[in-house]
Structure 1
Amino acid sequence: MTMILIGLGAGGCSFSRNDSGGPFAKADESDLTGSITRSAKDAAPTETDLAFARNAASDVLSKGDKDSSQHWENPETGARGSVTPIAQSYAAEDGRKCRDFLASYVNGNTESWLQGAGCQSSHGRWEIHTLKPWRS
């Protein structure tokens, strides 16, 4: 009876040896398990994600508040974030009133920042003319 219990207890354990790389072989980049996900830091926002972010940027810049942020979300992709002005407005070379902002981008495990700038048109609407990945 003791031998049966030992056999059943050890039956769930197994060892395998892969001699091609030795006992301390390193996994290469393509070896993934279900518990590890590949970093998506290179994943870029889609054009529709950027359209939602631009719209939120235009809205928050038109408010003109000093400490305001505007949330945005793309229901198609699940991407979301917020846009926050980071500086006071300034006059562009053509005389238009402009302002810089940062936008967060979150989609699944991907998190990044976008930087942008918008200027006020002659009709009063803020137009976003720059929106690109943030470089520190």
Structure 2
Amino acid sequence: MTAILIGIGSGGCSLSRGDGAFAKMDDNEVTGSIGPAKPPVPTESDLAFTRNAASDVLTKGDKDSSQPWENPETGARGSVTPLAQAYSSEGRTCRDFLASYVNGRSESWLQGAACKAGHGRWEIHTLKPWTRG
């Protein structure tokens, strides 16, 4: 019994050519179907928390500030950071922001734009995956 356990414990993977000989893989050969990890996609619930954090940090108006957020239902979290200075669009004050999105071990980024609405609150107009441009 001990010999069998040792044999199983010290076993490994090898490639057989079918004639009993073993083949060696080159370092540049690719096997399996695991591709690059896709960035996580936020749920609608996660996006609601992100929008609230964006509105909060933009309302505060602090220079160089970020607002963390966390969704206790999904465990997702992140932060929202305003970018550059406010600008005018269609007669309203607007501002762009970048939001991090972390779910488990994966992280991605969202870019957004918001404009001031009534009572000084910020209304989020766009929130989409960030692409380097």
Question: Normalization by structure 1: what TM-score?
Answer: 0.77
Match of 1:34 in 2: none
For structure 1, list consecutive stretches of 5 or more residues without a partner in the other structure.
1-6, 31-37
Match of 1:126 in 2: 122
Match of 1:29 in 2: 33
Match of 2:59 in 1: 62
- What is the alpha-carbon distance in structure 2 between the residues aligned to residue 50 and residue 88 of structure 1? 23
Count of residue pairs the alignment pairs up: 123
Q: Specify which structure has the higher proportion of strand.
A: 2
Q: Aligned-residue CA RMSD in angstroms?
A: 2.6
Q: Which residue identity is paired with 1:27?
A: T
Name the SS for the 1:59 alignment partner.
Answer: helix
Match of 2:11 in 1: 14
- What is the alpha-carbon distance in structure 2 between the residues aligned to residue 63 and residue 100 of structure 1? 15
- Deviation per residue, 1:3-44 (Å, 9 max, x gap): xxxx699644235654369442853116xxxxxxx7642431
1:47 paired with 2:44, answer: yes
Match of 1:86 in 2: 83
Question: Normalization by structure 2: what TM-score?
Answer: 0.79
Identity over the aligned pairs, expressed in percent? 64
- What is the alpha-carbon distance in structure 1 between the residues aligned to residue 36 and residue 76 of structure 2? 16
- Deviation per residue, 1:85-111 (Å, 9 max, x gap): 01111110x201100000001010110
Match of 2:105 in 1: 109
Name the SS for the 2:99 alignment partner.
Answer: strand
Q: Which residue identity is paired with 1:75?
A: P
Structure 1 residues 14, 121: closer, same or farther in 2, change over 3 A?
closer
For structure 2, list consecutive stretches of 5 or more residues without a partner in the other structure.
none
